[in-house]
A and B are shown apart, each in its own frame.
Chain A
Amino acid sequence: MSAGTLRVAAVGIRFEGLAALTDVSLEVPAGQIRGLIGPNGAGKTTLFNCVTGFYRPTSGQILLDGVRIDGLSPHEVSRLGVSRTFQNIRLFANMTAIENVLVGGHLHFGNLPSRPLDARRPTRGRLLAAAQRLPQAPGGAVAALREMAGAVVRPPAVRQAERVAIRGARQLLTAVGLPGRENVIARNLPYGDQRRLELARALATRPRLLLLDEPTAGMNPQESAAMVGLIRRLRDEFATTVVLIEHQMRVVMGVCELISVLDYGRKISEGTPAEVQRDRLVVEAYLGTRAPAPEEQDGAP
């Protein structure tokens, strides 16, 4: 898949009166690494949850390469090419490393009958939509059963597909720097390796858009630097757009081409790292509004 332009248009979401996001608009061009920063509770992860389909925005639209994805269910969004990692790593802890990646590649195993992905389901008239899909349902079940039968009989095509999937998974593990760790149970991997594995799993879904939620959380400076290099390399290698939430300024400034700043659910600033650093609103959001203090000098570092 190519491209991967994300457009967030005036998105708002309210949770019982609490406005978690208000009128947020972003335009991330294909292939960019965009930083998303803001104080705790600014709505960064909420925005990720909207883009991945876990939340349905109460207003606005989200488009991936011009196709609306807000209102789709998470697995449908994933199928359209959006993948993410989590601030607190969420691997399939009891599966091996390679199994985690294989689950990520779930959709791309062999030559699946690719169902046409019509973009948006109507939010209303869901009963009607369900009724319309009903004739396809047995077909889906039959296809699944036929595939399981194939898994039992193992005709050459299935074996070939398995080999391809496993080879692909191994390549991904190597790409993120985990060669040879494929049979380790995920929860037994060291912390940094778990982060890498989560990246490999996210890439296995072949995303056009990769959302990284604090990829360097809990890492020391050297590990963070290595992660920054990895993110940049993976973006080039897999031709994906990257949006990342980050708190470590060194990382944000080092890897992001453009930065958007959220505060209290609104976008308050956007620009290059240097521009954002100079933005008064951003400084205030992080440090609070300063009462003018006579002894402080302007331009102090």
Chain B
Amino acid sequence: MQPLFLFRSAEFYSDQFVNGLTTGSIYALIALGYTMVYGVLQLINFAHGEVFMLGAFAGYGVLMGMGGDDLSGGAVALAIVVALIAAAIASAAVATGLERIAYRPLRRAPRLAPLISAIGASIFLSHLVDDYFLNGEQRFYPTIFPTGKVELGPVSVSYLQLFLIGASLAMMALLYWLVQRTRHGRAIRAVAESRDNAALMGIDVDRAIVLTFVLGAAMAGFAGVLYGLFFSAIRGSMGFIPGVKAFTAAVLGGIGSIPGAVIGGYFLGLTESFGRELLNEIPFVNLPNEWKDVVAFALLVLVLIFRPTGIFRQKEGKRA
């Protein structure tokens, strides 16, 4: 029997913290796609979880093609970089197709129509992979990442976790910089503020919208590979739960806000990680791991009821 939650070791807290940051990184990366697309189109792209899933499979294909479990040494680093890039490209291509086929024709339709179209696309893609390509089986990422951990006092972080968190932060910083500081980023923000006005400035609105999907999808593709490296098992339906959680994270941070999605992602990751342990404090009940999902979705419900604009209400100026 472990001691009560409040009286556990420093190692316990730091482990939970690192775990929270790990899942939080993945949520944050995915949440960016939700929030950016919402920012320009006021659309919840519910097929975004599947964009993430297909990124994971693209990365898997690259890693297996480059040698799978036989990879070692510098080849591992190269393979992972190639896998990340391939996943970003594959996800971006899928998202571009979705935008063209499932959303653009419905842009002037009532808001419910593209939402339903998104859910349809989501179901289609996950079943296409699960039932058509994999016959319900899973695939497993090769375990090629160097094992070992960094120990710093009570804190111990595996190399993989360190890489995952670091890479995620770097990509998010890159995205933020692209959106804030480049011409195309400015075009996206202009379209998010006013589509008509942006067009008047000579901005091709359709192109800016596609670019928004591409950038969000690239982040989801990265997340897919990182997820595969960390959790190993991938399948067609793998995008659903992380997708809904990332959506929760985006709502937590105030949907439409890029920094909000990042903060919301980490907040959700940490809350889940600690919340699950808190739930285990309930006497005489042994709750399975899946109860962390309950924590996440309870949070979503509470936020939607009490702070529908997000718990970290953003300054307007920070919107996507």
Distance, CA A12 to CA B51, complexed state (A): 47
B96 proximity list for chain A (CB < 8 A): 141
Interface pair A151/B207, CB less than 8 Å apart: no
Interface pair B193/A109, CB less than 8 Å apart: no
How many residue pairs between the two chains, A and B, have CB atoms under 8 Å in the bound complex? 90
A201 proximity list for chain B (CB < 8 A): 201
A152 part of interface (Cβ distance < 8 Å): yes
B183 proximity list for chain A (CB < 8 A): 102, 106, 109-110, 147, 151, 165
Interface pair A148/B184, CB less than 8 Å apart: yes
Interface pair A79/B186, CB less than 8 Å apart: no
Q: How far is the CB of B178 from chain A (nearest CB, A)?
A: 6
Interface string of A92-124 (1 = CB under 8 A from B): 111100010011101101100000000000000
Q: How far is the CB of A225 from chain B (nearest CB, A)?
A: 28
Closest to A201 in B: B201
B214 proximity list for chain A (CB < 8 A): 141, 145
A83 proximity list for chain B (CB < 8 A): 200
A73 part of interface (Cβ distance < 8 Å): yes
Interface pair A185/B317, CB less than 8 Å apart: yes
B residues 152-208 touching A (CB-CB < 8 Å): 174, 177-178, 181-184, 186-187, 189-190, 193-194, 196-205, 207
B296 part of interface (Cβ distance < 8 Å): no
A90 part of interface (Cβ distance < 8 Å): yes
Kindly state the interface size class of chain B when it binds its partner.
20 to 34
Interface string of B208-228 (1 = CB under 8 A from A): 001100100000000000000
Distance, CA A104 to CA B203, complexed state (A): 9
Q: Which of B177, B193, B201 contacts A93 (CB 8 A)?
A: B193
Interface pair A106/B182, CB less than 8 Å apart: no
A78 part of interface (Cβ distance < 8 Å): yes
Q: How far is the CB of B167 from chain A (nearest CB, A)?
A: 15
B276 part of interface (Cβ distance < 8 Å): no
A56 part of interface (Cβ distance < 8 Å): no
Interface size on A, residues (CB 8 A): 37
B48 part of interface (Cβ distance < 8 Å): no
Q: How far is the CB of A120 from chain B (nearest CB, A)?
A: 17
Distance, CA A109 to CA B201, complexed state (A): 13
Interface pair A148/B187, CB less than 8 Å apart: no
- Residue picked from B201, B207, B211, B317, most chain A C-beta under 10 Å: B201
- Given contacts A93-B193, A103-B190, whether A148 and B178 have CB atoms under 8 Å apart is yes
A75 part of interface (Cβ distance < 8 Å): yes
Interface pair B187/A106, CB less than 8 Å apart: yes
A residues 110-158 touching B (CB-CB < 8 Å): 110, 140-141, 144-145, 147-148, 151-152
Distance, CA A140 to CA B319, complexed state (A): 26
A43 proximity list for chain B (CB < 8 A): none
B317 proximity list for chain A (CB < 8 A): 94-95, 185
Interface pair A75/B193, CB less than 8 Å apart: no
Interface pair A151/B196, CB less than 8 Å apart: no
Closest to B194 in A: A90
Closest to A108 in B: B202
- A to B CB contacts below 8 Å, 21 in the list: A52-B200, A53-B199, A74-B196, A75-B203, A75-B205, A78-B199, A79-B202, A92-B197, A93-B316, A94-B317, A94-B319, A106-B203, A107-B202, A141-B214, A144-B211, A148-B178, A148-B182, A151-B182, A151-B183, A151-B184, A165-B183
A-B contact sample (7 more), CB < 8 A, given A78-B201, A92-B190, A205-B201: A75-B201, A103-B187, A106-B183, A106-B186, A109-B183, A141-B214, A144-B184
